[in-house]
Amino acid sequence: MSVTGTPEETSEPASALKNEPPLAKGLPIIGSAASLFKDPVTFLREQHKLHGQVFKFKAMHKTMTVLAGKEINRFMAGEGRDYFTSEVTWGRLRDGLKSPHLMIAVDGDAHAYQRKLLKGQFSKAAFKERMDRLVDPITTTLTSLDEGQDVHVGPFLRNIVCRQIGLAVQNVEVNTQQTEDFMTTQNTYLNVFMIGKFPRLALYMPKFALSALRTGSLLKKVREDNSNRCPVEGEEPTYMDKIEQGAKERPDLYTENDIRTISMLPFVGGVDPIGGTISFILYRLLQDDALRERVVAEVDNVYAKGALTYESVEQLQDVRGLVMETMRVNPVAYAMARTATKDFEFEGYRIKQGDELMVFTVANHWDETFFPEPETFDIERYREPRNEHKNGAIYAPFGRGPHTCIAAGLAEMHTVINVAVLLRYVDFEAAVSLDKVKVNYIPAPFMSENFKIKLTRRAIST
Ligand code: HEM
């Protein structure tokens, strides 16, 4: 066992513990900030390879300890769940937003209550009756495009996913301007308060101020529309109904700002991670014709039996493998920022209460012990008899522990649907030289904004 709890439970005497974890090499003053901001996944992978499961890095004035590997993933989700808090790092966002009970930034009862209240809203099964709200927005977008139209992948995908989440979760039509407002608002907040990539001055920029204002108005309208609607008898409670229920049952947890931030949560949680994952998939398929032919054939087979349904999506095993393998090699949520609440030992190092931690949850995604030939993109890893992702806590694209993605099953299905509909209705080719396309961290990874594709309707859709 390489993780042990408080000093009383620790198997080795303190004197047997090693010194400070190794420090990643960096520049004076800024430390590793440049490499970290440029490409955090490569930085973490390189340092992990160099130093092993525990190391430190400095980025400007901050020092963080990185913990990596399946033991820490297990510990975080099991007996060690109380050893980590997200209240400090995510708390910066919580304080910036003046939303004292922001779900991702609270632990214990305040978190458990919100999670229980909303769990059913994010379950995959809850979308069985609402599949059309995921399938229709992307189908109509693709079938109404001009022939041979070039699209910028980033805004194109964000618009589609934002519309889908708006309709399926919040019962609201979200337009292009509103999508852009959401993205500007959320990413400015994240970069200022969480990542520290933007100065606070960014909050005074007119573009941000206007976007935040319009986003606030939209969320207010969503709430009003929900309250003013006439519910149909026997109808399931909506997402906003659950929040209103929470506000009544636990007024201590729902200030006006909390209600606003939690109304925005499905968009914040879903748009960039799903859009980013699909941007990696499109990039991959543009470079691998055989893989593309294989997944298109599977999609056509499933469509040959009729329109996509909740059940038929389950038959898309190759597309699911494509999505899962993309989440292994291009994980959009690669590390969890936490603070230690108590002392514990990890790999022979003493982690002290108050240490700022980065749990590199996806560290094992490239470990050949678990994923043979890890550099090979292989969509068959996730099915019988291989099931490589089921080997303990090694596959973690949705995080680990109490805050693990509440919508993991739904998000996977949502991504599979989007890829399937895309492959069914359009052919695509690169409309920019692919070597000019890079990964951007905004802060979640996404293929860069210059990634452009030309879409041609497939004969099948006419
Ligand atoms: C590919 C898609 C997605 C990925 C990779 C992803 C990943 C994650 C991860 C890693 C976390 C944990 C963050 C942490 O512990 O610090 C998380 C939390 C969360 N996600 Fe997702 N997510 C995705 C899609 C979605 C979608 C579609 C929604 C909602 C519609 C959503 C809603 C949430 C919420 C509400 C939380 C906070 C849970 C809590 O604090 O208990 N996510 N997600």
Q: Is 165 in the pocket of ligand 1 (CB under 6 A)?
A: yes
Residue 360 near ligand 1, beta carbon < 6 Å = no
Average pLDDT estimate for 411-418: 98
Q: Which atom of ligand 1 is nearest to the CA of 404?
A: 12
Cis bond upstream, residue 251 (ω within 30): no
Confidence of residue 194 (pLDDT cuts 50, 70, 90): confident
The 10s digit of each residue's pLDDT in 196-254 is 889 999 999 999 999 999 999 999 999 999 999 988 888 889 999 999 999 999 999 99
Q: Which of 408, 409, 113 is nearest to 258 (CA)?
A: 113
Ligand 1 pocket, residue 172 CB under 6 Å: no
Q: What are phi and psi of 67, to 5 degrees?
A: -120, 130
Q: How far is the CA of 435 from the centre of ligand 1 (A)?
A: 31
What are the tens digits of pLDDT across the range 301-349?
999 999 999 999 999 999 999 999 999 999 999 999 999 999 999 999 9
Measured from the Cα of 332, ligand 1's closest atom is: 5
Measured CA to CA, the distance from residue 303 to residue 369 in angstroms comes to 38
pLDDT bracket for residue 2 (50, 70, 90): low
Give the ligand 1 atom nearest the CA of 411: 27
Q: What is the DSSP string of 273-309?
A: HHHHHHHHHHHHHTT-HHHHHHHHHHHHHHHHTSS--
Q: Over 50: is that where the pLDDT of 462 sits?
A: no
Judge if the beta carbon of residue 453 lies within 6 A of ligand 1.
no
Mean pLDDT of the chain: 93
Residue nearest to atom 42 of ligand 1 (CA): 269
Distance 419 CA to ligand 1 centre (A): 20
Provide the 8-state DSSP code for 231: P
- Indicate which atom in ligand 1 lies nearest the CA of residue 118: 35
Residues 75-117: pLDDT tens digits?
999 999 999 999 999 999 999 999 999 999 999 999 999 999 9
Task: Flag whether pLDDT at 380 surpasses 70.
Answer: yes
Q: What is the pLDDT of residue 461?
A: 46
What is the CA(305)–ligand 1 centre distance, in A?
33
Window from 24-38, 107-121, 266-280, 387-401 with minimum mean pLDDT: 24-38
Integer Cα distance of 32 and 147 in angstroms = 47
Out of 405, 406, 418, mutate this one to test ligand 1's pocket (max ligand atoms within 8 Å of CB): namely 405
- Please identify, by atom number, the ligand 1 atom nearest to the C-alpha of residue 336: 16
Distance between Cα 310 and ligand 1 center (Å): 22
Say which DSSP state 14 is in.
Answer: G
Angstrom distances, CA of residue 107 to CA of 82, 229, 243, 250: 9, 34, 18, 16
- Ligand 1 atom 19, closest CA: 405
